[in-house]
Structure 1
């Protein structure tokens, strides 16, 4: 291992693992006064998990279930289809590990640093989303843990291309960790997390124009790529336990932006 660091960051790390499902009045607010997680109440939302799924679906179509209830309905369907989603995810994962140029390149670069990523530590699981009382929905499509490997959230993956982007994002984190021993939680310096998130969003392909335009509805031509990378980096830094608020997240991303956005290692340039 080397003591050198990526660009301005002296360390870097991403946040692994799925969050837990929601709860309202029975859930205590997390530290820092963050919004409570909402738990389904059929009397309030109109969604009753004891009712047949097609009845609830019809109630959503007719407006008898609130937006909050529709969120909990979606999560219930993910639970019901967990085994199917994981099987499909594993098929796409195996294809990417064997045939994706980006993924196979990153696997080799990770191996060069003494690491190994394969079907044993790239796992597909259902990741529960969280709905908080401020109306925000918190989802993730994957995560990286230095101790366990890469998590791919099977229920959030739309297709094989989406899984390829997600896997590439997490593998950039893995490469950064092996190269620079990133401080994922931000205990030492949140700039580490900011740098690796900038690099992962930039190099994975998740901010390519076609993804932004056709998947997220962002048809902006000028600065689209930079805006996407910056936005996703800020959101990821905000999820770190040591980040106080969005103001701090924006500040640390700005501090490392120039050096980390120009750092394309282990690639020669941004291909995706």
Structure 2
């Protein structure tokens, strides 16, 4: 789940039509989104015509993966093309993980944490510029800190992982192994 938990100091939300145009632009022009769609196809899970949907979402998230339907982009919580590109990449990484792992159980906090670590690290959620906009100025270890923070936030939204400390423990257990897994990329983009 791609979260919108940190202040971005801008007006949130766009029309469904504008969001659809931005999604279409990402799918046709953003190299990382296009790459992820190709990789989904290669692992046997092609994204069909209605795989990416635009909705107004009640929770403060920019998107999500809803199985078996596909990726949801929340028009009421996005306002810029770059956000949509990152959200799509984030959710497509979850879809890729779900497709390639025969036993991925989203109710298992550690399984969920692994995919969240990968998505936060590989989607651009934690690029230096994004962190700067959030007011996080650390240099040393900032990417890893961001990945842990955002993964923990997403896992804590899972109804099966809401006990105190459960999300953090799951992220801590999964972090090293899952942060090192950059598939389908050769390295962190």
TM-score by length of 2: 0.89
Q: How does 1:150-229 map to 2 (within 5 A)?
A: 150-181=71-102, 182-186=104-108, 190-214=109-133, 216-229=134-147
C-alpha separation in 1, matches of 2:53 and 2:85 = 14
Q: Can you list the C-alpha shifts for 1:84-143, whole angstroms capped at 9, x where unaligned? A: 6111110010011111110110001000112122552201111124xxxxxxxxx10000
Q: Which runs of 5+ in 1 are unaligned?
A: 1-13, 16-73, 79-83, 130-138
What is the rounded CA distance, in whole Å, between the counterparts of 1:118 and 1:92 in structure 2?
Answer: 18
Match of 1:237 in 2: 155
Displacement of 1:219 in angstroms is 1.5
Q: In the aligned structure 2, how far is the partner of 1:149 from the partner of 1:109? A: 15
Map 1:2-41; keep pairs closer than 5 Å. Answer: none
CA distance in 1, matches of 2:163, 2:58: 23
**Separation in structure 2 between the aligned mates of residue 228 and residue 173 of structure 1, nearest angstrom:** 18
Preserved CA contact (<8 Å) 1:96 1:164: yes
Q: Which has the larger radius of gyration?
A: 1
For 2:69, the equivalent position in structure 1 comes to: 148
- State how far apart, in whole Å, the 2-side matches of 1:224 and 1:115 are: 33
Matched residue count: 180
Q: The residue matched to 1:242 in structure 2 has which SS?
A: helix
Matches of residues 56-95 of structure 1 in structure 2 within 5 Å?
A: 85-95=15-25
Q: Which runs of 5+ in 2 are unaligned?
A: 3-10
Q: Secondary structure of the residue that 1:123 maps to in structure 2?
A: strand
Q: What is aligned with 1:251?
A: 169
1:81 is aligned to none
Q: As a proportion of its length, which structure holds more helix? A: 2
Q: Name the CA distance, whole Å, in 2 between partners of 1:177 and 1:121.
A: 14
Cα distance in 2 for partners of 1:263, 1:246 equals: 27
The residue number in structure 1 matching 2:50 is: 120
Residue 222 of structure 1 and its aligned partner are, at CA, apart by 1.8
Of structures 1 and 2, the one with the larger relative CO (CA 8 A, separation 6+) is 1
What per-residue deviation string (whole Å, max 9, x for no partner) do you get for residues 206-227 of structure 1? 110101102x111222211111
Deviation at 1:146, TM superposition (A): 2.4
